[in-house]
Structure 1
Amino acid sequence: MTVDPRAPIVQVMARLGRETQLHLDERHRHFKMTDKVILVISVLLVMLACVNVYYVTVLYQDLNGIVDNMDSMYRNLSRVDRDMDLIAQRVQRFDRHIQRMTPITANIEAMTAVMPNLRGNMQNMQATITDVDINMQQMTSAMGGIAQQMHQMTGGMSVMRANVHQISGPMGAINPMLPN
């Protein structure tokens, strides 16, 4: 039997053809798997984008609510500030009326000399009026401090309001692009 010299070359070429086909089949299978992974990741990214758009919409609405609440709080604190100023003025006026009672106590002392039986009651009244005068002076100074603190709170609220407006500004620019 004679061996055909082309037989080994044909066998090598056949084996190369089979190996190449196996490699192509494996590569095709990997491409299909990669395509499926890319599709799944794309779907997840689209879902994540939808959730992010929803959260941005909710955040925008919440920031609008916060700004509205801050505006309302600012208006209410301004009203309270005006009321506290009015109360402080009335307390000062009342304090001036109490200070006018000091000459009255001097006149009452003169009356005690005339009416010895009322002396004990009048001395108690003088001490009480002095205590009331001291208490009213303390109350006047406390009301001034309260009015000053209310002014400071109103200033702080206006700064907070401006800061929240600055934060919500970019959100207002994004809002026309967001779905309702």
Structure 2
Amino acid sequence: MDELIQSPVSLIHVGAAIVALATGTFVIMKPKGTARHQQVGYVYVVSMMVVLTTAFGIYRLFGRFGIVHWGAVFSWLALIGGIGTVWLRAHLRNWLLWHYLGMSLSVMGLYTTFVVEATYRLFPARFFWWTTLGTSLVSFAVGSLLIYNYSSLSRQPAEAADRGWPVMD
């Protein structure tokens, strides 16, 4: 744990990440569009904002701006795309599709980062890229299946098509 928590920034980062993992999983697995979905979803968004902001203050891996920080940039874009479409839904025809895609990418990025962070320390440094790329691919594959299975895309194809969502048969 000493290696994981090296500063107050990393402590805040890890704490917010735990909240984001819990709330992100809750939102994925529960019914969409409910008041609870919205409440827990906003907790997820705020916790992810903290996670992504504090990520830019942690440089222990490379000592400079690195691939982890680029991941945070892309995660910010996914998060903004996912929540921004909700705020602009009156002006966006397919806002629900874009909300779903943005938030799904955000959660998959969070899961992937968790798996990579938990596993790369288990191997010698010379395997860093292989372990991070391998676990990232597996995480994205599993995350994609879970998100698809818990979405209305897999349960109500006719309704999804009516909303302008892609339907996968």
- Report if TM-score (shorter chain) is over 0.5: no
Q: Which has the higher contact order (CA 8 A, sep 6+)?
A: 1
Task: Choose 1 or 2 for highest CA Rg.
Answer: 1
* Bigger helix share: 1
TM-score computed with the length of structure 2 as normaliser: 0.28
TM-score computed with the length of structure 1 as normaliser: 0.27
